[in-house]
Structure formats: C-alpha cells, structure tokens
Amino acid sequence: LLPTPEDCGRVVADAVAGSVLAALARGGPVVLGLATGSSPLLAYRELLRRHAEEGLDLTGVQAFLLDEYVGLPAGHPESYREVIRRELTDALGLDPAVVHGPDGAAPDPLRAAREYEAQLRAAGSVAVQVLGIGANGHLGFNEPGSSLASRTRLKTLTEQTRQDNARFFGDDVAAVPRHVITQGLGTILDADHLVLVATGEHKADAVAAAVEGPVTASCPGSVLQLHPHVTVVVDEAAGSRLS
Ligand code: F6R
C-alpha cells in the first residue's frame, strides 16, 4: 500500500526489473508477461526512464501479452500489440519479433487462442507477469464466472468492461470489440511471479475481494491467493477497503 500511483509505478518497475534481470543472469530464455490498460502505464514509463537514464537492458527477453481484442485489423492503434509497442517495447529497444500476443485478426480466433497457448508454453515459464484488475475483478479478460483452471481462449466482454474501455475508442462503446482472446486464469497462474497493480477508488472493491475475499470464479482476481509468489501494489485509494 503506497501513497500515490507514481509510487506504485516505481515499485512495480522494481519488481519487474528485479525478476527479469535475475532470470537473464541465470541464462536461458526469459519471458516477460505484459498487461495493457492504464494501470501499468506509470510502471512502464519508469522502466523506460531507467532504460534511457540508467542503462536498464532487457535485451534477450521475449514479451507475451495477456490478451487481445478480436476483430481489430492488424496494426489497429488500439490493438494491444500496437499499444504495448507504442507504450513500452519499441522504446525499450525490443524488436517487434520478440513481442507476442494472441492474433485477434485471425480468421479462426478459436484456433488462434489454442496456438497462442502453445506458443507461450513453448517459450518457457513467464519470469514475471504484470497484471491489472477490472472493477468487476477480471484478470486479463477473464470476466466473472471464468473457470479458475481456464487456459487461453475466446471470451465475450461484459457490458461494463466495454464501457470501461470505451475511453480508448473515442468514448464510443459500439466501437469496442465484443470478443477477446485472453490467457486463462490457469495460464496466468503458471507464471513464476505475479505483480498486480491497481490505483484509484474505483478499484477498491475489486482489490479487497481479490485479496481478502473467498477464492471464487465470481472474482477472477481471487485466484492470486492460489499462487505462491504474488506482489500486489496499490495506492491509498485502491487499498482503501482492505481490512
Ligand atoms: C489488460 C487486461 C485487463 C486490465 C484491466 C484493468 O491487458 O488484461 O485485465 O488490466 O481491465 O484495466 P485498466 O488498467 O485500464 O484499469
């Protein structure tokens, strides 16, 4: 629990850089799991600052996204592949070829989901997975009701999530895709280290339910309680309903 979102960004950047650099030092392939959305942006900016000013070097990392919209053409500015390149990986000096995401433009999204799961497994274990949480407790795009053991698959977004994300589509809910491909909760739990970041009052209920409530599919974020190495980073507002 930290005073401000900026403090959260620094602590998340510490956790990510720490886990990735330790994995790079051990040798072998290193996989970094990335979330999109607003929550990790300050952490990503901090990683970029360290890259530019302090020589933080993540060369050798393979980056894998949590999820992707279905139906946006490849290269659409709000597709998560494009967002993460723009916000993080290009400026970190990572080649687009090492930045992977589900293929939301594939003619057969069911197959694209299975292929992404296989690609992720073949890459080795995820050293650190950055996560945000939805106001309804979703993790990745595993909306409430998702199986705790789920693998990467096609999902339908809830109306609330589409409304929450309309801000990225000119406040036009109709422009927000209805379907997504998301890593499953079981897939997310396979990562070595999970780092959840949440800021703002609107996340307070979801954070309390995920951290202190029962482990249940009605709050997908509660699966974090099943993992042995989780770092939850919240500001005062998002942590305000923790007991
Ligand atoms: C994004 C993702 C989502 C977001 C969540 C919170 O890749 O998987 O679970 O982390 O919707 O979104 P923000 O951070 O925009 O509040």
For range 109-119, the mean pLDDT: 98
Write down the mean pLDDT value for the chain: 97
> How far is ligand 1, taken at its centre, from the CA of residue 162, in Å?
11
For range 107-129, the mean pLDDT: 97
Q: What range defines the domain where residue 152 resides? A: 5-234
Q: How many domains does the chain have?
A: 1
| 51 part of a folded domain | yes
> How far is ligand 1, taken at its centre, from the CA of residue 87, in Å?
14
| 239 part of a folded domain | no
ipTM: 0.98
| 27 part of a folded domain | yes
Residue to mutate (ligand 1; options 81, 138, 142, 219; most atoms within 8 A of CB): 138
| 240 part of a folded domain | no
pLDDT digits (tens, 9 = 90+) for 47-98: 999 999 999 999 999 999 999 999 999 999 999 999 999 999 999 999 999 9
Confidence at residue 181, expressed as pLDDT on a 0 to 100 scale: 98
Confidence at residue 137, expressed as pLDDT on a 0 to 100 scale: 97
The beta strands (E) that lie in the chain are given as 30-34, 61-65, 67-69, 99-100, 126-131, 153-156, 179-182, 194-198, 230-234
Q: Give the position, in ligand 1's atom list, of the atom nearest the Cα of 182.
A: 8
Please give the Cα distance from 189 to 194 (Å, whole number).
8
| 223 part of a folded domain | yes
| 242 part of a folded domain | no
pLDDT digits (tens, 9 = 90+) for 132-154: 999 999 999 999 999 999 999 99
What residue ranges line ligand 1, CB within 6 angstroms?
35-39, 66-67, 132-134, 138-141
